A and B are shown apart, each in its own frame.
Chain A
């Protein structure tokens, strides 16, 4: 149900752009105004969200420790999994963000007769997730070629690497294809793993379909319904140089692609995709476990009501004396 609604929402978005261009000839709206608005919403939204997080205090030092602490000098500390220094934290975060290290150690279990619980490691989500994110990233970077003139050398290298298969005309760029497959995998596991289906909201399917839509329209544009790349570049350079132009003759599929991307960007700040920022601010990962060495300050620490020793002794003085315990007041 959640999945179908999300699918229709994405198809609806694609249709809006298609009809808008084909029937209503709103090329200017879809080619320039909406992308600008989307970018503005994205930037303002992301920045304000991150500022909101950043302004919220971290009252306690609560890393989740996943290895041996620093203690006696002859006990080997797990410097990455239980960092006690800034460098260790950076290492831990780097591996999390770029290699999804926690997901790498994922496990699954099985309940057998007996009962006997058997655990084993499972890396499919890690692999699918990694493929999805890295290809998304590469695709994003590759698009910079549309917004730069001359195109910087590193973009050529990336594209060359990406086209290493050297099949097809134009040459197949592997990242886009893998992105589509990886997103499809993430979708299928959402539908077929009962527990994951049970927790999935429309807000989980929607971004997946949106990204699949973006990738699919992009792939169609490159290999099937060819678009006039020279005109497209005029449009994108116009966007980049803040002097928008809308050349004639760009096919509708391009506007569909651009509109879906715009929708994705505008949606990001209000969605779970904000995890891209949040992961850096997660106090269980980005803090060192050194709170016995360095006092962590809580900005809102306030005095509390306590039961003092004096009150305690007043309650128990006679009993304490009888038991031979020293007291402050006879």
Chain B
């Protein structure tokens, strides 16, 4: 594994494009910027083409003989299926408005990380094969042939895009390079070209219900650890149920929250909140994944993985579904799930059993975001909250790409934070809400071997955090995404050491005054509560 350079080296970035034109500059696949190739066993599990042992650094990627034909046929197929793809291939004017909006360009200076050029990598092949101008004028019209080196370039750069859609906000036509990356990855998968870090979790999710491959008894076991910790902090014993038929609500959250800090604290937050409300809900070990690494692979696989949520809701006979804090999970639930696997006519329009609020905005999918659910509880005065328990925290909020630009959930989490914390500070408004920067490792790029590009991509977000750390002494970055919780921890540690990361529901749980709880002396992380230090 390549050694990641130190921050002061990495932040020397040269934005001057090379002398040679981009088409004449073949991609150099630098270690630290790519992930290991997909292992055959995972592709086999998923019934994906061309399972084989292969290494990115090898000359020969062991492709089928007719690989060009496969790609071009795949491209034709996608062009006929997606208006987005066809229109985005045709209408870019190369004005460059998107060019400096990508965190990977800002962090690396590599011109092929400008969204427009990332798209041109594919568009040039489109022109050469599917447009009159490109066929006749060739390079003059920006067309080129699909060669082995072009294919490698695609692989390199489509796995250096986190599908965050920031570029799409600034484009005068809304051209979404994330969409183009998705098409590019879909094509690459036709040749068995994926990363191990994506195909592994996807295969796990397919067979075991979640990315981490937690088997049913492990899920129960992991939650039991958390329940013990909750009991230590609050004195309250919680007994959640699993796979229970007849529950009112099915709860689905990303499996990352079941596994590692600080996601587990968020998970403890859910458990405590639901217990306090006396919510009639169940966990599922079959639909134990809210996230969807299939989405980073192909549309079909995304649908296959997503199908479990409705299937399980139907089997258990619940009334509606509540979803935890996650980013791409919510883009999928908001923009894809109902279309793929609906209609969910066996469910009812979600209604909060505590406040009676009917979630009209989810009347077709029947799936509510937990921040919507909790904000409604707070608004209706159903939670007793002691904000001062979070007084040791100076909190800022990181908007996750997918919930921002593929949904638009901005106020709900802020409302919750403002009701659970006394010290909340916003980052530079050109880096939040719809203009938010990716954590740097979304869309399945959160592997270990590509740490350099992750840290580069993470620079813009971390740098905006650093700004509020310097200005206001912020020490905690709240978010509503499991991938954020895992990867911001790493990128902040690299760029802004000493800054913590938390889910919003961890803040809720710390502030939540529960019936019959013992006087709390620590928060969920076992740190002394403000004002109780040294009282042991």
Interface of A with B (CB < 8 Å)?
2, 5, 49, 52-53, 56-62, 64-72, 74-76, 78, 81-82, 84, 96, 100, 102-103, 105-109, 111, 114-117, 119-121, 125, 129, 193-204, 270-272, 274-275, 278-279, 281-285, 289, 291-298, 300-301, 304-309, 312-313, 315-316, 319-320, 322-326
Contact = CB atoms under 8 A, between A and B. Distances in A.
B116 interface: yes
B70 interface: no
A67 B100 CA distance: 21
Interface residues of B, number: 119
Contact of A198 (B87, B111, B208, B431): B111
B80 A56 contact: yes
B94 A52 contact: no
B430 A282 contact: no
26 contacts: A60-B335, A60-B336, A65-B407, A65-B434, A72-B379, A84-B361, A107-B101, A120-B430, A121-B430, A125-B96, A195-B17, A196-B95, A198-B117, A200-B94, A272-B92, A285-B174, A291-B334, A291-B335, A293-B362, A296-B338, A296-B339, A305-B304, A306-B304, A319-B215, A320-B217, A326-B244
Contact of B173 (A125, A200, A275): A275
Contact of B311 (A2, A66, A117, A306): A306
Contacts of B300: 304
B256 to A, nearest CB: 20
Contacts of A278: 87, 90-91, 173
B423 interface: no
B141 interface: yes
Nearest to A328: B315
B165 A53 contact: no
Contacts of A284: 84, 168, 174-176, 179
Interface string B193-233: 00000000000001111000001110011000000000000
Interface in B353-388: 357, 359-365, 367, 372, 375-376, 379
B114 interface: yes
B11 interface: yes
Contacts of B106: 109, 111, 117
Interface stretch (B49-57, B390-398, B442-450, B456-464): B456-464
Given A53-B83, A62-B84, A70-B361, A203 B133 contact: yes
Contact of B131 (A270, A293, A306): A270
B459 A78 contact: no
A5 B140 contact: yes
A106 B170 contact: yes
Contacts, number: 319
A316 B216 contact: yes
B81 interface: yes
B312 interface: yes
B93 A119 contact: no
Contacts of A111: 11, 13, 15, 106
Contacts of A309: 286, 308, 311-312, 315
Contact of B87 (A53, A109, A120): A53
A65 B408 contact: yes
A115 B430 contact: no
Contacts of B92: 272, 275
B340 A301 contact: yes
B171 interface: yes
A292 B217 CA distance: 33
A100 B172 contact: yes
Given A58-B84, A61-B339, A68-B410, A307 B206 contact: yes
Given A60-B336, A289-B407, A293-B364, A117 B464 contact: yes
Contacts of A125: 95-97
B84 A52 contact: no
Highest count of chain A CB atoms <10 Å: which of B88, B206, B217, B433: B217
Contact of B86 (A53, A62, A72, A129): A53
B138 to A, nearest CB: 10
Given A60-B335, A64-B174, A82 B408 contact: yes
B142 interface: yes
Contact of B361 (A67, A71, A129): A71
Nearest to B224: A323
Contacts of A56: 79-83, 86
Interface in B162-191: 165, 168-176, 179
Contact of A65 (B361, B404, B459): B404
B173 A279 contact: yes
Highest count of chain B CB atoms <10 Å: which of A57, A204, A307: A307
Contacts of A58: 82-84
Given A115-B13, A279-B172, 12 more contacts: A56-B82, A64-B406, A65-B408, A125-B95, A270-B131, A272-B93, A275-B90, A291-B365, A304-B304, A306-B307, A312-B207, A319-B215
Contact of B176 (A62, A304, A305, A324): A62
B361 A60 contact: no
Contacts of A121: 430
A305 B87 contact: no
A108 B411 contact: no
Interface in B6-59: 11, 13, 15-17, 21-22, 47
Nearest to B350: A292
Contacts of B419: none
B172 A96 contact: yes
B280 interface: no
A300 B81 contact: yes
A52 B86 contact: yes
B363 A293 contact: yes
A71 B372 contact: yes
B141 A319 contact: no
